[in-house]
A and B are shown apart, each in its own frame.
Chain A
Amino acid sequence: MSTAASGSSDHSTSGTTSGETPHKAGAFDIRVFIASLIGIYGVVLVIYGIIGSSAADLKKTGDVNINLWAGIGMVLVSAFFIVWARLRPVVVPAEIHHEDGPTPGH
């Protein structure tokens, strides 16, 4: 999970500094955290859904292997956030300059 911090390496590209203490808040990317947590959940659920589903479990859910399906859904959500974070990395704008790079999130 410590790899999640690597998403923040992008912020070093912001270039300009205003001379005083640099504003770094918001520099590490929440999307990487979301992708990691939901991705881990998804993988665990898919595996457990395949190997761990008992007849009692299926009776509970009315014959839906919910672990498997929810797990697949979570893996897809996780993939979406990874792609999004890759395509639009976080750029921390300098205090005065308005850079023409993409702003965070949009």
Chain B
Amino acid sequence: MVLAASSALRLNANWVDYLLIATYFVFVLGIGILAKRAVSSSIDFFLSGRSLPAWVTGLAFISANLGAVEIIGMSANGAAFGIPTVHYFWIGAVPAMLFLGVVMMPFYYGSKVRSVPEFMNRRFGPTAHLVNAISFALAQLLIAGINLYLLAKIVEVLLGWPLWISLLVAAAVVLTYTALGGLSAAIYNEVLQFFVIVAALLPLTIVGLHKVGGYGGLKDKIGAFSDGGSRLNSWPGTNLTGIDSPLLSVIGLVFGLGFVLSFGYWTTNFVEVQRAMASSSISSAQRAPIIGAFPKMFIPFIVIFPGMIASVLIKEVAPTAKAPDYNNAILYMMRDLLPNGMLGVAIAGLLASFMAGMAANISAFNTVFSYDLWQTYVKKDEPDDYYTRVGRIATVAATLIAIGTAIFASNYTNIMNYLQTLFGFFNAPLFATFILGMFWKRMTPTAGWTGLVSGTLAAVLVGVLSKDALGPMSIGAIGLSGQGASFAAAGAAFFVDIGVSAAVTMVTRPKPESELRGLVYSLTPRQDFHDENEGQLSWYQQPTKLAVVGLVIVVVLNIVFW
């Protein structure tokens, strides 16, 4: 992502703005300090004592993802592509979150594993576990660094602080509350962050819509662009995918973005799943992603719409500009539309989103590092508080590495594509392996890791063959670029993983069935996956019924913005 280096985006923040920003920081640190009092075991530190209500874990579930990708990236996509950007939410995230809640969460919560890699270990043994745990831990460090870099860059651009000062201040704040309060502090801050972001973006959207003459006015003005039609209809989304054929574009969206990338990301990414695992019962763990899906459906309206409005109102972002500055769409909107006061809330919201994103990466990293790597392979039988201490040290180390990564990340120009590619490489084969492993009891441990490795390699191969998915490393042998290349890489990873897993299973020995209870659907007694109190839950507390309601709403939204 290239942010304007000039002072064109400097905001005239005054004392009220700084007062509001400072208030937010007091709350962030206050939560860390109070949460520390509640940590009395390693489960408290890493999984919040599995005691949080579903609405809290549900909001944290989407907040953990509401960072750089979402706010800056999706408003940039809104400015560049318009309505088709909604596919990231209505074809991508929401169906995947509902699927996680209904189908996969019972395995994670019911088997009492403490992390997604630990499930891998129990189902497929140490090789698959190591592949998963190490790649995940490295990815978290990388993404934490990217979040940190973007945060510091934005503070530099908006407020004129030197990059290194905001880098260190932000890292120190995140470190303080995650090291003190563990996952509870991270989750509580994510929930708080959710409200601050809505408080920042909703008024911005309302003012923006008011200035363009409502949604009707916005449609008229965007419709007047030379490519107005493709910006106002979600399907076939050829401008978003970069695939010329409408049919292939739809297939790319539904299968590549929807089924493989998003299902892979939302159902196997421990950053997300960890939030649901902190719930107080199996039905509330299932409800967390489902409850999260409801606000998630409506986030496009406060993220994509400001981007679209920017393409009409802001001359630097208009498609007629010499080089439209899409990536800064939301920042230009803040500069031109918000007076002091709301400006402070908006800056606090942006800082909140970057810090929470980074904290989510770090809290997921320290859990996987402490439980999956340190406890499993280095020091097995230490007392419980030893692992809490390891977790705190891992948090400090991760923050230092993230600072290093942040400096490194400044070399990457298009973070949106880069992250997409990364998720494709790590998550698409994971989803294939998990779903096969959960429903096919014969699938062998060897098939587990070979499928994973070959799927990841297939994605890398497609990335190399594409025009630009891996930047200078791509050779352009196949005519796919941008998002389309990411979708294709994810699809390749999925099919190669399934194929290799099936083939290897035929020639290797499966695990004994007695070891697969809670891990494979057909070998798990029904009551393991059900809340003993389920009979007493009202309909809106029952995961499946709630998920059906969510599905209906998202289908309606898809049709309305067809």
Chain A positions within 8 Å of B, measured between CB atoms, are: 1-2, 4-5, 8, 21-28, 30, 33-34, 36-38, 40-41, 44-45, 48-49, 52-54, 56-58, 60-62, 64, 66-67, 69-71, 73-74, 77, 92-93, 98, 103-106
With beta carbons under 8 angstroms apart, the residue of B191, B203, B207 that contacts A34 is B191
Contact between A104 and B38 (Cβ–Cβ < 8 Å)?
A: no
Query: Taking the nearest CB of chain A, how far is it from the CB of B365, in angstroms?
Result: 20
Chain A residues closer than 8 Å to B336, beta-carbon distance: 60
In this complex, the member of B51, B52, B196, B336 whose beta carbon has the largest number of chain A beta carbons within 10 angstroms is: B51
With beta carbons under 8 angstroms apart, the residue of A30, A71, A92 that contacts B191 is A30
Q: Would you call B31 an interface residue if the criterion is a C-beta within 8 Å of the partner chain's C-beta atoms? A: yes
Q: Would you call B468 an interface residue if the criterion is a C-beta within 8 Å of the partner chain's C-beta atoms? A: no
Chain B residues closer than 8 Å to A58, beta-carbon distance: 339
Contact between B341 and A28 (Cβ–Cβ < 8 Å)?
A: no
Q: Would you call B337 an interface residue if the criterion is a C-beta within 8 Å of the partner chain's C-beta atoms? A: yes
Contact between B341 and A22 (Cβ–Cβ < 8 Å)?
A: no
Contact between B280 and A103 (Cβ–Cβ < 8 Å)?
A: yes
Interface secondary structure of B, over-half rule: helix
Contact between B55 and A105 (Cβ–Cβ < 8 Å)?
A: yes
User: Complex formed: what's the CA distance from A52 to B339 in Å?
Assistant: 10
18 pairs from A and B in contact (CB 8 Å cutoff): A2-B30, A21-B41, A25-B35, A25-B39, A25-B51, A26-B49, A26-B51, A28-B34, A33-B30, A38-B196, A44-B341, A48-B16, A61-B337, A64-B206, A69-B203, A70-B199, A98-B533, A104-B280
- Sample of 14 further A-B pairs with CB below 8 A, known A30-B188, A105-B56: A4-B34, A24-B49, A26-B49, A37-B27, A38-B199, A41-B199, A45-B345, A61-B207, A61-B210, A61-B211, A66-B338, A67-B341, A70-B202, A73-B203
Contact between A36 and B211 (Cβ–Cβ < 8 Å)?
A: no
Query: Taking the nearest CB of chain A, how far is it from the CB of B29, in angstroms?
Result: 10
Contact between A67 and B342 (Cβ–Cβ < 8 Å)?
A: yes
Chain B residues closer than 8 Å to A53, beta-carbon distance: 339
Query: Taking the nearest CB of chain B, how far is it from the CB of A87, in angstroms?
Result: 14
Chain B residues closer than 8 Å to A40, beta-carbon distance: 23
Chain B residues closer than 8 Å to A60, beta-carbon distance: 336-339
Chain A residues closer than 8 Å to B35, beta-carbon distance: 25, 28
Chain A residues closer than 8 Å to B37, beta-carbon distance: 24, 28
Query: Taking the nearest CB of chain A, how far is it from the CB of B182, in angstroms?
Result: 9
Query: Taking the nearest CB of chain A, how far is it from the CB of B38, in angstroms?
Result: 4
User: Complex formed: what's the CA distance from A33 to B177 in Å?
Assistant: 15
Instruction: Given A61-B207, A66-B342, check contact A24 B30 (CB 8 Å).
Output: no
Chain B residues closer than 8 Å to A41, beta-carbon distance: 20, 23, 199, 345
Q: Would you call B325 an interface residue if the criterion is a C-beta within 8 Å of the partner chain's C-beta atoms? A: no
Q: Would you call B176 an interface residue if the criterion is a C-beta within 8 Å of the partner chain's C-beta atoms? A: no
Contact between A49 and B341 (Cβ–Cβ < 8 Å)?
A: yes
Chain A residues closer than 8 Å to B184, beta-carbon distance: 25-26
Instruction: Given A26-B52, A27-B38, A40-B23, check contact A57 B30 (CB 8 Å).
Output: no
Contact between B192 and A30 (Cβ–Cβ < 8 Å)?
A: yes
Contact between B207 and A66 (Cβ–Cβ < 8 Å)?
A: yes
Chain B, residue nearest A42 (CB) = B199
Query: Taking the nearest CB of chain B, how far is it from the CB of A29, in angstroms?
Result: 10
Q: Would you call B505 an interface residue if the criterion is a C-beta within 8 Å of the partner chain's C-beta atoms? A: no
Q: Would you call B557 an interface residue if the criterion is a C-beta within 8 Å of the partner chain's C-beta atoms? A: no
Chain B, residue nearest A71 (CB) = B341
Q: Would you call B156 an interface residue if the criterion is a C-beta within 8 Å of the partner chain's C-beta atoms? A: no
8 A-B pairs with the lowest CB-CB distances in the bound complex, closest first: A105-B53, A25-B49, A57-B339, A104-B53, A26-B51, A67-B341, A70-B203, A25-B44
Chain B positions within 8 Å of A, measured between CB atoms, are: 16, 19-20, 23-24, 26-27, 30-31, 34-35, 37-41, 44, 48-49, 51-56, 184, 188, 191-192, 195-196, 199, 202-203, 206-207, 210-211, 280, 336-342, 345, 533, 541
Chain A residues closer than 8 Å to B338, beta-carbon distance: 60-61, 66
Contact between A38 and B56 (Cβ–Cβ < 8 Å)?
A: no
Query: Taking the nearest CB of chain B, how far is it from the CB of A12, in angstroms?
Result: 14
Contact between B533 and A1 (Cβ–Cβ < 8 Å)?
A: no
Contact between B34 and A70 (Cβ–Cβ < 8 Å)?
A: no
Chain A, residue nearest B532 (CB) = A98
User: Complex formed: what's the CA distance from A56 to B12 in Å?
Assistant: 13
Query: Taking the nearest CB of chain B, how far is it from the CB of A3, in angstroms?
Result: 11
Chain B, residue nearest A21 (CB) = B40
Chain A residues closer than 8 Å to B345, beta-carbon distance: 41, 45, 70
With beta carbons under 8 angstroms apart, the residue of A27, A33, A45 that contacts B31 is A33
Contact between B51 and A92 (Cβ–Cβ < 8 Å)?
A: yes
User: Complex formed: what's the CA distance from A28 to B32 in Å?
Assistant: 12
Chain A residues closer than 8 Å to B199, beta-carbon distance: 38, 41, 70, 74, 77
Contact between B51 and A23 (Cβ–Cβ < 8 Å)?
A: yes
Query: Taking the nearest CB of chain B, how far is it from the CB of A27, in angstroms?
Result: 6
Chain B, residue nearest A58 (CB) = B339
Query: Taking the nearest CB of chain A, how far is it from the CB of B173, in angstroms?
Result: 15
Chain B, residue nearest A38 (CB) = B195
Chain A, residue nearest B190 (CB) = A30
User: Complex formed: what's the CA distance from A22 to B41 in Å?
Assistant: 10
Query: Taking the nearest CB of chain A, how far is it from the CB of B66, in angstroms?
Result: 16
Query: Taking the nearest CB of chain B, how far is it from the CB of A13, in angstroms?
Result: 16
Contact between B341 and A64 (Cβ–Cβ < 8 Å)?
A: no
Query: Taking the nearest CB of chain A, how far is it from the CB of B534, in angstroms?
Result: 13
User: Complex formed: what's the CA distance from A39 to B118 in Å?
Assistant: 41
Query: Taking the nearest CB of chain B, how far is it from the CB of A67, in angstroms?
Result: 4
Query: Taking the nearest CB of chain B, how far is it from the CB of A21, in angstroms?
Result: 5
With beta carbons under 8 angstroms apart, the residue of B30, B48, B203, B339 that contacts A4 is B30
Chain B residues closer than 8 Å to A33, beta-carbon distance: 27, 30-31, 188, 192
Query: Taking the nearest CB of chain B, how far is it from the CB of A72, in angstroms?
Result: 11
Chain B residues closer than 8 Å to A24, beta-carbon distance: 37-38, 40, 44, 49
User: Complex formed: what's the CA distance from A58 to B196 in Å?
Assistant: 23
